[in-house]
Amino acid sequence: MVPNAEECSISYVIGRSKIEPRASTSELPREVDALQERIEEGPCLDAVWEQEVVRVDEVGADDRWPQFAQQASELGVGSMMCFQLFVQGDQLGARNLYAHTPGAFDDECQEIGLMFAAHATVAVAGAEHEEHLRAGMTNRDVIGQAKGILMERHKLTADQAFGVLARVSQELNRKLVDIAREVTETGAVPGASRRRN
């Protein structure tokens, strides 16, 4: 734990200013993330795009982000530290620490925060990888079920059934898994009636 940190959040930054909260200790970090996204300035965005660490000793008096300083101070944020996270590939994020009082974080807090940010990067990337694997397995199962339906109903081989799904996916410009999901839900190939006409 980083000394004096009263609140914490992990956020992803998409594009230049869209902030997607992934985890937070309370509503305050989510409000601060929403504020930075709305006004397109703040320490979280700077940590992601410009610096490894951004420390704000007194939020209300900081002139780097005038709008943010005033509004975050009104929300009850006294000081902050934001650490850049490389989540996965080119996805970026930040680990944000908050204190209600100004001057809560010193150099020692910053060093400890950097260490935790490195660990958080590994943990978040691992969780993301696991989520992608789980989604991939689910997609594979849905495609397999759809192939089975087509094989049974139309007396196709596994390769032929997959070929039908792939062709329909291309023709309708939809993801293969979405076509497969529709086959499993309806038992019919999307757009089949249109192709017969």
54-99 pLDDT, tens per residue? 999 999 999 999 999 999 999 999 999 999 887 555 568 888 999 9
Q: Which residues of the chain form CATH 3.30.450.40? A: 7-105
State residue 19's pLDDT score.
81
Cα dihedral angle (163, 166, 167, 171), rounded to 10 degrees? 170
State residue 80's pLDDT score.
97
Q: pLDDT tens, 127-153?
A: 666 666 677 778 888 888 998 999 999
Q: pLDDT tens, 156-188?
A: 998 899 889 989 988 999 988 899 999 999 989
In this prediction the pTM is: 0.62
Q: What angle do the packed helices 176-186 and 107-154 form, to 10 degrees?
A: 50
State residue 130's pLDDT score.
66
Q: Which CATH architecture has domain 132-186?
A: Orthogonal Bundle (1.10)
Q: Does 3.30.450.40 match the CATH number of domain 7-105? A: yes
Tell me how far apart the alpha carbons of residues 86 and 77 are, in angstroms, rounded to a whole number.
25
Tell me how far apart the alpha carbons of residues 100 and 78 are, in angstroms, rounded to a whole number.
4
State residue 197's pLDDT score.
45
Element (H, E) at 18: strand 18-24
State residue 89's pLDDT score.
58
- The model's confidence at residue 5, banded by pLDDT at 50, 70 and 90, is very high
Q: Which residues of the chain form CATH 1.10.10.10? A: 132-186
Residue with the bigger pLDDT between 1 and 153: it is 153
